[in-house]
Structure 1
């Protein structure tokens, strides 16, 4: 076999291994979103980067581990590690105790909003559980890191083709992910990810025995995928935050998992928002959960149609009492409750906008005989679309625009990099809704009154009215509640006396409360937000940050002030999402500790700092800066694309695809485009400028194309991202090439430092965006490349090759 054939085999093997690794990483995101709080989805990215960095370090400490003799075996170890997660999920069906010990504590108690989940106790036990979980699913990445680092070390300094192969293979995995999950569940998809990796084994070792072994293992893993999908034996037996082996139906795609389950009688008794004075029959119901915490119910269609008073006695129905015969626009109606509420009033017509096609499938097809297919009712029109874009492009006007409480979260269906962001509850979103209201239309948003949700909604309403130049916002706002649920209503024209009279009548009939205008002595926090002449001062007096979120910082559910988050002091009664963010901070700390222990301390203890003449500090700072900056700009770009593409899954797909393809092309052309230190420095400055453009100018461009067809928006998002991604593909291979012959010895250390920075950034950038916004996030990414430029300049001029760089 010629050297060229060996080289081509290596490139294909790297591509297949990288495709399997990225598939595993993305499938873990989906699984984490179902098993635990969606805050944990981003852990898989950090774990992948940590494994790759640790593998690079292992090769640095013991170069023989990266030799060709081990690559096929390590590839198979990775493949078996991936499939072990599938087998673990299957084992939970036989040993439910496993789910309680390892997974159940990460759930919020189902429909118990005032009860704290176990995870809010930030103790040693939780830290141990998180560590065990991280190691349990993250260890396979280590072997991918060993194989990849071994190849790059062997081929240094001419690594551009091999480095590009890892990007292009990962791009293949990224492109296959949404297609794969359109046909199989996430647990079953693990078998395909393992098969991709197993197919690369015969390319590392061309022996006949390995050819048959690798092919047979890949075939077995594909068969395992088919078995898991057909039998359902590896389906995640979780619904409503507890083990449930009798889930009625499950639907997967890259967007979410939707599961239907039987509702225990206690879960249907007097839910918040349903009048305690209502004594009639309740329609039969089936529970529906999107991933971990997006709850909605399906209602018996015949019983619902025969019992309209049940729905009229709901807090969500308030605007229909005020606007008889309304034309309604409903965002996120989920299982159909909001639709049934609207149809319980004579003459009402409904335009429903639901983003998740699987939820619609459950309502209209899977359980159509039960629900009576409310979306097919002649009074209802359905659009499967993103609410923000629909509000932008729709030309109709509506008497009522409504979004109810339970199914209000998009993040659980998002998976990656989401935390608690919500672009449906921002200042810009409320302006879009306002434009769709008739002259006396009402915007009605129902959320839990606890955890500062009602305060933040009221602040959004006040901000909207100020933007519209309304001098007396209190005349346009009414807030009513039932126990822990609040309905914030904003009227385009001032509420009239007859409206207030009708509100009092409904409150008396159903036992609801009026929160604003405040009826008690003194003033409430709500009244201070609405009536204060200086709303900024009123908001400062509240311990939590309940200011109006914006598209740049759209974290509606996150109300901890940045200073409190950094200090670790969360005042008062922190909410569910705030506690989840607290867990994320703990995860970040744990990842830094693990990364330091596995990436930095061993090499410092065993080898000391690598020597690059007198320039070691600048070399290490350069690779740290580009490692941190790459992740910051990549994740920040995902955030920028979310609004124009309509769903986080699409934003993740476009961003990863663009960065992997663009950076792969940049790697291949790095020798030509950045052959000297001077030209490399120019590219670093280009990246910094493009990062600043993403932060401050791209949002205006993307906003202008929101009404374009999806294919056009997809293409524009790709084109906006590719130049930055292309430029960012050059700094690593170009610098390795310019290190000269010494790069073979330096590469494992560089890989480790670069990996450590990437791990820190993968979670740290989320905390930055959550507290300071997307623009600040992207600005930091741009600043990292300026730091890399300074590091490059710090190497000085006239370096000889034995000092580590050539010019």
Structure 2
């Protein structure tokens, strides 16, 4: 079948390839920003991509006739330019004049403009690609179902392609590689009579992409990231790099790095770290080898506490990293050690290329490595352990709130309850945290334990908790049964030998807490006591303390989110106006991004549409219908990614699977919608099916996922297909049906329909994150249901 001068097959394939390139570029940008800045810019990238689509729709509405008449000439050029912009935008954004730093946004306001410029740079390739897709949609509106199907399928496969490419290419090379996909999409639809003239353009574009691939711009990390600080030390250098969907791993050789959390002040030797690992510029851990380090210091840290209270034969290390805690378990004669580390690329390095630098610990017959998220392992294991060790909370010196938007499922009340269930009768859970100031982490982790024991209907939780400290670290132990007198004596003797101080013991005295390591502000002890005293005292502390110290839950898994809007003035008085942003840079950036994206969306999408006017009947219905679709779809996608992250134990694969299944299924729904005559009552029926599926999700999905979490990967993929595809199939129908319905009744409102959907899709990614942080993921699902109810309401009067 022909569509103008180009066959429908070629047009569909071109749309699929371009859509795949756009999604792959979006994911590569998320990874690049995670490296040079911090992980939480993902929602910004999603919003920028959607902004490009919304703005493209607006431009189309203003020059619809021109683009349709010149489509065959313009389309190849737009796709080619989109590919070029993918490669060039990253390089330009890395120049000194435009590179922003998250930490400096609230200290040096020039970085706000740099951030805005970065938005616009990354906006360009999405806008050009979306404009090409939009021209095709409008020119071939009678085949919109087929083309929307091609768009959705291509987008879904693009997510899978991005994951594969991340294993093969370093992040700085990815934009050029992905740009060739957009170029190929353009080449496919070059009309025969234009091929000779277009050959020169293709040759130039290929040359530029090859050059960008061979000599990519160096990714300039924020000077405040751990890797940047380490490389500032004399004689420090990167000796190995490894790229994967888990991030960019850097192995650094340095003679001056020291790392020993919880070390005793009595330890006489030096603790040198010759090699250390970083992921996306963030600290993972030291590479410890008995050939290069004196390992006696591992017996002189607060993390040795669980080994002095009892023999630990079966040990579970969650978030094992480079294996420091695995080495400690081996030195303490553990017979069975389960090492759980989510980053498969890191595990592969430690087993092969770096094995000699860590004494081949993962090859030890006592060690069983597991590549899965720690929380998923806890949910799925049937094994019982004498000790469960968690990684140290926060980085030394604090992270200035950069992790405030990180979903930390390992530190929720549900997680610790599951850990207690996985212990043998005398087993313990051990976790350490740096003593930050103002006090946040030690208080919040203890509040978490108190809430866990309350849910287990255990009175006097102080009998089940023990804690000790050195000068900058607190180590906690929790048990299913009370600590007995023998264990408490062992703890006190260990503190005496190592000059540690008990912080929490059932019969502790005030003088014990400050014997060797004095705190400048001793209010920490009174707050810890209030948490354990009673629920009323705990709740009173929650409401009075300037920071959010309520425990994290699976519904709100943001353990490191401490800032509260109502206490910002108080914090400003206590610490100064310029200090407040550094408590929670990530949290404030979320709202800054929301404001900037909202302004850009209105400026680029809605404002230009006033030139053509919002005319005709049913304007309110058009607004409600397409805004509801924009919000509902994105909210649903985000909530499903959250649910399936725990299920698969890996956010990258969970996101790729959810996005792929949703987009492909929605594509099939769009294809089927081509055969449906758009009628309001039919749209109401379809949207009702979507809402019913959401209610089923709300009631049963969590239970289904927990019941089947121990199944094989193949079985879980099949089950995910069965759970995700039915509602996603129906979710692909309302948009093309709505466009058809508007075109029948009021053709002039089509640009507004596109623009309205674009604006609400743009803000929904950031808005969903705000709702999840402030209210929880349950409310994100509730708002998704509400959005689709608005879609139904907009069709009731028409019916």
Q: Fold-level match, TM-score > 0.5?
A: yes
* 1:314-463 matches, cutoff 5 A: 314-346=301-333, 349-405=336-392, 419-450=405-436, 452-463=440-451
Could you tell me whether the CA contact under 8 Å between 1:477 and 1:489 is conserved in 2?
Answer: yes
1:55-74 deviation digits (Å, cap 9, x = unpaired): 11111122224641322111
Shift of 1:401: 0.7
| Alignment match, 1:582 | 588
Aligned to 2:483: 495
What stretches of structure 1 of length at least 5 have no aligned partner? 93-97, 107-116, 798-807
Output the CA distance in 2 between the equivalents of 1:312 and 1:254: 36
Q: Residue 382 of structure 2: SS of its match in structure 1?
A: coil
Q: Distance in 2 between matches of 1:748 and 1:659?
A: 25
Secondary structure of 1:335's counterpart equals coil
1:100 positional shift: 9.0
Q: Is contact 2:430-2:477 (8 Å) kept? A: yes
Alpha-carbon shift at residue 520 of structure 1 (Å): 3.5
- Distance in 2, Cα, partners of 1:750 & 1:457: 48
Aligned counterpart, 1:110: none
Call closer, same or farther: CA 1:566–1:203 in 2, change over 3 Å.
farther
- Structure 1 distance, partners of 2:571, 2:76, is 46
Partner of 1:37: 38
Q: 5+ residue gaps in structure 2?
A: 512-522
Instruction: From 627, 648, 651, give the equivalent of 1:624.
Output: 627
Indicate conservation of the 8 Å contact 1:200/1:214, yes or no.
no
Q: 1:22 aligns to what?
A: 23
2:246 aligns with 255
TM-score by length of 1: 0.88
**1:547-573 Cα deviation digits (max 9, x unpaired):** 232222211111335766999999978
2:715 equivalent among 712, 715, 721: 712
1:191 offset after TM fit, Å? Answer: 1.9
Does the aligned pair in 1 maintain the 2:87–2:212 contact within 8 Å?
no
Quote the Cα distance in structure 2 between the aligned partners of 1:368 and 1:575.
Answer: 41
| Equivalent residue number for residue 778 of structure 2 | 775
Q: Secondary structure at the match of 1:424?
A: helix
Would the alpha carbon gap of residues 367 and 575 (structure 1) be closer, same or farther in structure 2, given more than 3 Å must change? farther
1:625: Cα distance to partner? 1.2
Alignment check: 8 A CA contact 1:156 1:744 kept: no
Deviations 1:82-124 (A, max 9, x none): 11145458xx6xxxxx469615x33xxxxxxxxxx434x2664
Closer, same or farther: CA 532–59 of 1 in aligned 2, 3 Å: same
> 2:88 is matched with which residue: 84, 91, 105?
84
CA change 1:394–1:574 in 2 (3 A) is farther
Question: 1:3 and 1:650, CA in 2 relative to 1: closer, same or farther beyond 3 A?
Answer: closer
Q: Distance in 2 between matches of 1:633 and 1:729?
A: 13
Quote the Cα distance in structure 2 between the aligned partners of 1:168 and 1:478: 54
| Aligned-residue offset at 1:757 | 0.4
| From 721, 740, 760, the counterpart of 1:737 | 740
Structure 1 residues 446-480: Cα deviation after superposition (integer angstroms, max 9, x where no partner): 12332522222112211222232322211011122
1:507-564 Cα offsets, whole Å, 9 max, x none, are: 2333333332474499611111112143434433333332232222211111335766
**Paired residues of 2:547 and 2:567 also in contact (CA < 8 A):** no
**Per-residue CA distance 1:675-723 (angstroms, 9 max, x = gap):** 3111111112222222233334211111111111111112212221111
> 1:109 aligns to what?
none
1:343-364 per-residue CA deviation (whole Å, 9 max, x = no partner) reads: 3324564221111112223323
Q: Is the 8 A contact 1:539 1:547 kept in 2?
A: yes
The aligned counterpart of 2:74 is 70
2:605 to 599, 604, 607: 599
Report the CA distance between 1:482 and its aligned residue: 2.9
What do residues 293-323 of structure 1 show as CA deviations (whole Å, max 9, x unaligned)?
Answer: 343111233244xx34211112222111212
Structure 2 residue 526 is the aligned partner of structure 1 residue 524: yes
How many angstroms does 1:629 deviate by? 1.3
Confirm or deny: 8 A CA contact 1:288 1:298 kept in the other structure: yes
The Cα shift of 1:787 comes to: 0.6
Two-structure CA RMSD over aligned residues (Å): 3.1
Q: Which moved more, 1:10-19 or 1:734-743?
A: 734-743
Corresponding position: 1:287 with 2:290: no
Alignment of 1:276 with 2:273, yes or no, is no
1:658 matches 2:645 = no
Cα distance in 1 for residues equivalent to 2:39 and 2:196? 43
The answer on whether the counterparts of 1:285 and 1:298 sit within 8 Å (CA) in structure 2 is: yes
Residue 36 of structure 1, CA deviation? 0.9
Count how many residue pairs are aligned between Structure 1 and Structure 2.
762
Secondary structure at 1:366 match in 2:
coil
Quick check: 1:421–1:556 contact (8 Å CA) kept in 2?
A: yes
The aligned counterpart of 1:803 is: none
Q: Is the 8 A contact 2:146 2:674 kept in 1?
A: no
Residue 468 (structure 2) aligns with: 480
